[in-house]
């Protein structure tokens, strides 16, 4: 059976069983495109000389920057799974995969791709694993992939806060070098409305623990999360939180709700009678303008708003590039710069 490599030019990748079927063609390259939802396609191929197939529990998601890397499921689902804007793991019950299952996947992947340098541990928050289990997986990866440079995974605030500095430092020494972390907002009110399961203090504490242990953090915030009513609180709180506990990388997403999660999101948001009025592009640019204007982190933060959901792609390092980025956003807000067309946006 072929080993399947999946590429998807977006923040999240969803792998469907059909793609395995496509890849099961024997022999030379098998190339195909299959629609997974409106306007989205996933490209896949099976390489020559395959030895086997990893066993994925679908759907599988990964950050866009992990698109060329080995994806291994250490856990299934998300240990929190309550955020009202997120539908990624609603079909799964969180559990850790057994050590035997994970090691079998590692062995298979090592036979197929012994030169692997980067590994992403799925699903929603592999950092939820007990430190000993995660350390054992990191040790096995180091043994099987002699050229390994980076292991990364998603993490929640709780995952970080319930680990000691010593445990995190040990995981870093064993090769866990990057965490993807959803800040979403620095406003206590917004975080409660979206059921993030953490307040700004807990998020700052989690980011501080990661930083002190030497594990880099790539964090995301979601523009539009407070709607037109609460946008200022959302952005002022977010800027204050990032200045207080800066991640290494920061990127913005733009709120996009699927029909399945929109009802839950809005009803939870409106629980105190505050209506949720979605931001339009102008409102989002106003948020981005205020956020960048307020960001003054005490150490460099690589900033990106190049995710496909954003109406205005930006890239720079804060605080040194802040004034230039603010000027670009002001131009876009005033109509002097083009925005990404709607049909090119997505999650
Ligand atoms: S912690 Fe992340 S994966 Fe889990 S529900 Fe929230 S946004 Fe989704």
Looking at residue 23, what is its pLDDT? Answer: 41
d(C-alpha 222, C-alpha 236), whole Å: 13
Closest CA to 188 of 198, 177, 174, 173: 198
Looking up tokens 């959901």 gives: 309
Helix (H) or strand (E) holding 19: helix 17-23
Query: What's the 194 CA to ligand 1 centre distance in angstroms?
Result: 10
Dihedrals phi, psi of 67, to nearest 5 degrees: -60, -30
d(C-alpha 89, C-alpha 235), whole Å: 27
d(C-alpha 337, C-alpha 340), whole Å: 10
Query: What's the 56 CA to ligand 1 centre distance in angstroms?
Result: 19
Looking at residue 294, what is its pLDDT? Answer: 98
d(C-alpha 83, C-alpha 191), whole Å: 9
Chunk the chain into consecutive blocks of 10 residues (it has 347) and report each block's average pLDDT, rounded to whole numbers: 34 37 34 31 34 67 86 95 94 95 91 90 97 98 97 98 98 98 98 98 98 98 97 98 98 90 95 96 96 98 86 93 96 84 67
What secondary structure letter does DSSP report for 66? G
Helix (H) or strand (E) holding 326: helix 322-333
pTM metric for this prediction: 0.86
d(C-alpha 41, C-alpha 346), whole Å: 12
Which of 59, 80, 125, 260 most suits a substitution to test ligand 1, by most atoms within 8 Å of the C-beta? Answer: 80
Rounded-to-5 percentages of helix, strand, coil across the chain: 40, 20, 40
Looking at residue 31, what is its pLDDT? Answer: 31
């Amino acid at each position: 059976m072929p080993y399947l490599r999946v590429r998807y030019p977006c923040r999240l990748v969803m792998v469907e069983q059909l793609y395995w079927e496509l890849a099961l063609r024997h022999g030379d390259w098998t190339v195909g495109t299959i629609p997974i939802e409106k306007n989205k396609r996933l490209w896949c191929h099976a390489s020559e000389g395959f030895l086997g197939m990893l066993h994925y529990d679908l759907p599988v998601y990964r950050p866009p920057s992990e698109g060329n890397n080995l994806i291994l499921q250490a856990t299934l689902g998300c240990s929190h799974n309550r955020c009202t804007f997120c539908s990624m793991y609603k079909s799964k019950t969180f559990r850790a995969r057994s050590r035997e299952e994970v090691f079998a996947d590692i062995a298979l992947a090592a036979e197929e791709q012994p030169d692997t340098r980067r590994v992403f541990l799925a699903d929603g928050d592999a950092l939820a694993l007990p430190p000993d289990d995660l350390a054992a997986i990191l040790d096995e990866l180091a043994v099987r992939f002699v050229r390994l440079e980076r292991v990364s995974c998603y993490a929640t605030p709780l995952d970080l806060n319930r680990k000691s500095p010593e445990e995190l430092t040990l995981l870093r020494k064993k090769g866990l070098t990057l965490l993807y972390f959803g800040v979403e907002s620095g406003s206590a009110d917004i975080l409660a409305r979206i059921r993030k399961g953490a307040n700004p203090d807990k998020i700052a504490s989690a980011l501080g623990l990661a930083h002190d242990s030497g594990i880099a953090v790539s964090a995301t915030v979601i523009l539009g999360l407070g709607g037109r009513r609460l946008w200022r609180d959302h952005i002022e709180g977010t800027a204050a939180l990032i200045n207080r506990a800066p991640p290494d990388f920061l990127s913005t997403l733009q709120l996009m709700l699927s029909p399945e999660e929109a009802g839950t999101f809005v009803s939870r948001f409106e629980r105190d009678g505050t209506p949720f009025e979605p931001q339009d592009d102008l409102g989002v640019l106003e948020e981005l303008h205020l956020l960048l204007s307020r960001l003054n982190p005490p150490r460099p933060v690589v900033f990106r708003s190049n995710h496909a959901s954003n109406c205005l792609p930006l890239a720079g390092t804060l605080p040194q590039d802040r004034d230039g980025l603010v000027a670009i956003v002001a131009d876009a807000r005033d109509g002097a710069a083009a925005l990404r067309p709607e049909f090119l946006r997505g999650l």
